[in-house]
C-alpha cells in the first residue's frame, strides 16, 4: 500500500487499479485510520464533507466491497482479509511491511540506531532509502480533502525531519560541500525551519564560506521579519554570532 505520493496498491510487485474516485477516497480514509474501526457514518460525513446525498451509505458499502476485492481475502471477518466489517463500520488491517509509511518509519529507526553506533555510511543509506519512498506529496490526490489534512501535515513534517536527521549524518561524515545546494533550496522552501538554517550555516562555514553562512542567516532573519513578524530563535542566533566572531578573527 502506497500513500507517500498518489494512493496506490501494489500486490506481488504489480500496481493494482483502484478504480473510481470515491473508492480511492475510501481507501485513503481507511489507511489514515488503519487498525481502527472507522464508523460508516463518519465515512459518509467525511467523504461528502457533511453534505451527503441520499444513497451515500450504500455508496460507501459499494466502495468497501470493491476495495475488499482489490486487497484480497474473502468477504467478512476472515483472518486472511485486510478489510474487516464490523456492525458500526470498517477497519483496514495491514502488516507494517504492507504500508510505505510504516516501512519508512522502520528504516528511519534503523538509521538512527546505526548512527548511534557510529555506522554513519549505513545510517545515511538507510535514511536515503526511507526518503526515496516519497513519490510526491502524501495522499497527493487528496491535498484539498478535509479528511486527509491532518495526516498530510504529519507526513510532510515527518519527511522534513527525516531529511534533517540525514543531513546531520552527512555533516558528521564531512560531506558539507555536497549538501550545500540541497540545503540552500530547503531553506528557501521552508524558512521557518531553524534546524535546516543552522545546518546550512554549518555546511557553508565548514566549506570555507563563512561570509556566505552569515548572509544565509541574515536573509533568513529578514524573511522571517517581513513575512511572519518574528526573528530566528536563540540557538541559531548564537550559531550566527559564533560564525561572525570567527570570521572577524580571521579577517
Q: Give CA–CA dist 30/34, Å, rounded.
A: 6
Query: Are 107 and 228 contained in the same domain?
Result: yes
pLDDT at 251 (0 to 100): 38
Query: Are 79 and 120 contained in the same domain?
Result: no
pLDDT at 142 (0 to 100): 96
Query: Are 124 and 244 contained in the same domain?
Result: yes
**Phi, psi (5° rounding) for residue 93?**
-105, 115
Query: Are 161 and 182 contained in the same domain?
Result: yes
* Cα of 172 vs its chain's centroid, Å: 24
Query: Are 20 and 82 contained in the same domain?
Result: yes
> Does residue 2 lie in a domain region?
no
Query: Are 227 and 122 contained in the same domain?
Result: yes
pLDDT at 81 (0 to 100): 75
**Phi, psi (5° rounding) for residue 82?**
-80, -25
Last residue of a domain, one of 47, 69, 96: 96
Query: Are 126 and 203 contained in the same domain?
Result: yes
Query: Are 75 and 181 contained in the same domain?
Result: no
Walk along the chain (251 residues) and give the pLDDT tens digit of each residue: 999 999 999 877 788 888 889 999 999 999 999 999 999 999 999 988 878 788 899 999 999 999 988 887 544 444 447 899 999 999 999 999 999 999 999 999 999 999 999 999 999 999 999 999 999 999 999 999 999 999 999 999 999 999 999 999 999 999 999 999 999 999 999 999 999 999 999 999 999 999 999 999 999 999 999 999 999 999 999 999 999 998 654 43
pLDDT at 44 (0 to 100): 94
CATH of the domain at 194: 1.25.40.10
Query: Are 157 and 229 contained in the same domain?
Result: yes
Enclosing domain of residue 51: 9-96
pLDDT at 248 (0 to 100): 52
Query: Are 127 and 221 contained in the same domain?
Result: yes
> Does residue 1 lie in a domain region?
no
Residues 6+ apart with CB under 8 A from 244: 214
Query: Are 233 and 198 contained in the same domain?
Result: yes
Query: Are 45 and 124 contained in the same domain?
Result: no
pLDDT at 54 (0 to 100): 86
> Does residue 61 lie in a domain region?
yes
Q: Give CA–CA dist 205/247, Å, rounded.
A: 9
Three-state DSSP string of the chain: CECCCCCEEEECCEEECCCCHHHHHHHHHHHHCCCCCEEHHHHHHHHCCCCCCCCHHHHHHHHHHHHHHHHCCCCCCCCCCCEEECCCEEEECCCHHHCHHHHHHHHHHHHHHHHHCCCHHHHHHHHHHHHCCCCCCCCHHHCCCHHHHHHHHHHHHHHHHHHHHHHHHHHHCCCHHHHHHHHHHHHHHCCCCHHHHHHHHHHHHHCCCHHHHHHHHHHHHHHHHHHHCCCCCHHHHHHHHHHHHHHHHCC
> Does residue 3 lie in a domain region?
no
Which grid coordinates are listed for 55?
444513497
Count other Cβ atoms within 10 Å, centred on residue 96.
10
> Does residue 225 lie in a domain region?
yes
Q: Is 200 within 8 Å of 232 (Cβ atoms)?
A: no
Q: How many CA atoms lie within 13 A of 146 on its CB side?
A: 10
pLDDT at 77 (0 to 100): 42
> Does residue 67 lie in a domain region?
yes
Domain count, the chain: 2
Amino acid at each position: 500500500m502506497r500513500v507517500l505520493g498518489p494512493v496506490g496498491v501494489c500486490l506481488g510487485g504489480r500496481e493494482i487499479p483502484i478504480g473510481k474516485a470515491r473508492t480511492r477516497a475510501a481507501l485513503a480514509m481507511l489507511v489514515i485510520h488503519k487498525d481502527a474501526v472507522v464508523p460508516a457514518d463518519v465515512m459518509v460525513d467525511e467523504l461528502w464533507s457533511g453534505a451527503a446525498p441520499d444513497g451515500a451509505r450504500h455508496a460507501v458499502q459499494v466502495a468497501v466491497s470493491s476495495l475488499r476485492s482489490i486487497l484480497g481475502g474473502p468477504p467478512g471477518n476472515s483472518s486472511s482479509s485486510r478489510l474487516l466489517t464490523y456492525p458500526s463500520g470498517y477497519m483496514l488491517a495491514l502488516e507494517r511491511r504492507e504500508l510505505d509509511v510504516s516501512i519508512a518509519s522502520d528504516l528511519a529507526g534503523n538509521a538512527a540506531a546505526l548512527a548511534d553506533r557510529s555506522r554513519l555510511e549505513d545510517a545515511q543509506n538507510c535514511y536515503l532509502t526511507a526518503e526515496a519512498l516519497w513519490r510526491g506529496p502524501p495522499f497527493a490526490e487528496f491535498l484539498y480533502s478535509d479528511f486527509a489534512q491532518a495526516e498530510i501535515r504529519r507526513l510532510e513534517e515527518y519527511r522534513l525531519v527525516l531529511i534533517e536527521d540525514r543531513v546531520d549524518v552527512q555533516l558528521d561524515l564531512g560531506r558539507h560541500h555536497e549538501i550545500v545546494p540541497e540545503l540552500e533550496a530547503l531553506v528557501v522552501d521552508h524558512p521557518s525551519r531553524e534546524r535546516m538554517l543552522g545546518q546550512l550555516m554549518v555546511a557553508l562555514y565548514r566549506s570555507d564560506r563563512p561570509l556566505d553562512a552569515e548572509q544565509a542567516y541574515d536573509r533568513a532573519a529578514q524573511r522571517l521579519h517581513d513575512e511572519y513578524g518574528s526573528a530566528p530563535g536563540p540557538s541559531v542566533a548564537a550559531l550566527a554570532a559564533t560564525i561572525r566572531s570567527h570570521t572577524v578573527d580571521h579577517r
